Copies of this chain bind each other. A is one copy, B any other.
């Protein structure tokens, strides 16, 4: 084994939420996901794309990240990734093997230096894709994470998971990619570790505006946006979910060609934070929800 894994995609995100019922209603209602599996204390929701689910919600007494799941194509590559991670010193909390949770597949779990749970899997249950020409999310696009040491985490995710840096927003944020999308993970330098927000992608600006309208008709106004980010070039509209966690509706994320891409450092000025200039700066309200509360991670 001479190289880190070549992660193909972000599969899903698991969140711990203090408002499970209300959140299921929100995400399976105006947000546009669909409930595919449900137990007393957990819910699994899919998007229009080929993943069994893109969001897991787990009832908890405080909001937190449960785990993040990445995709590899074969069990062989999963085994190799686990061996690589172990060799790099990562803590393996579930060794490679069949996954018995909803969605199935073959995978393993390990923790990052701030104790977040990561999963890498292959051969998960496929589901029939939904029509793509309606304004609902197709997939989870990326997950932004608050960290107390952006440099250490960037080094760890590039070395252990093989993600590559796409861009920096000064020394405040860094954007890491797998294949295609400008980023699947971004880190934000902060006072404590916590999930910042999870972004869901719709097909284009038209679908994105129709999604914003559907949320508005249902009584949900944007907490920040609509706007368009400089790094990643993606349209954004941030909301606060019933538990106080932050989802983002996004579209037209920049596609990166590994062979020609040159990373840049973006200054944090208004005209690059919002290329549309429609959003203005984020309010203290949304900043507070993005900051979250200290998340101890795996226990």
Contacts and interface: CB of A to CB of B under 8 A. Distances in A.
A39 to B, nearest CB: 27
A228 B122 CA distance: 27
Interface of A: 2, 6, 8-9, 71, 73-74, 122-123, 126, 131, 165, 179-180, 205-206, 209-210, 212-214, 216-217, 226-228, 259-265, 274-278
B205 A276 contact: no
A263 B210 CA distance: 25
B278 A71 contact: no
21 contacts: A2-B2, A6-B259, A8-B262, A9-B260, A71-B262, A73-B261, A123-B265, A126-B264, A179-B259, A180-B259, A180-B260, A205-B205, A206-B228, A209-B226, A209-B276, A210-B277, A212-B276, A213-B276, A214-B277, A216-B277, A216-B278
A210 B264 contact: no
A277 B73 contact: no
A277 B217 contact: yes
B165 A262 contact: no
Contacts of A131: 131
A278 B213 contact: yes
Contacts of A74: 165, 263
A228 B205 contact: no
A276 B2 contact: no
Given A276-B210, A277-B214, A122 B262 contact: yes
Contacts of A212: 276, 278
Q: Which of A71, A216, A278 has the most CB of B within 10 A?
A: A278
Given A74-B263, A180-B260, A213-B276, 12 more contacts: A73-B261, A123-B265, A180-B259, A205-B209, A206-B228, A209-B226, A209-B276, A210-B276, A213-B277, A213-B278, A216-B277, A216-B278
Nearest to A277: B213
Contacts of A263: 73-74
Nearest to A9: B260
Given A126-B264, A217-B277, A278-B216, A259 B210 contact: no
Contact of A260 (B8, B210, B264): B8
Contacts of A165: 74
Contacts of A264: 126
A273 B278 CA distance: 23
A71 B263 CA distance: 12
A194 to B, nearest CB: 28
Contacts of A227: 213
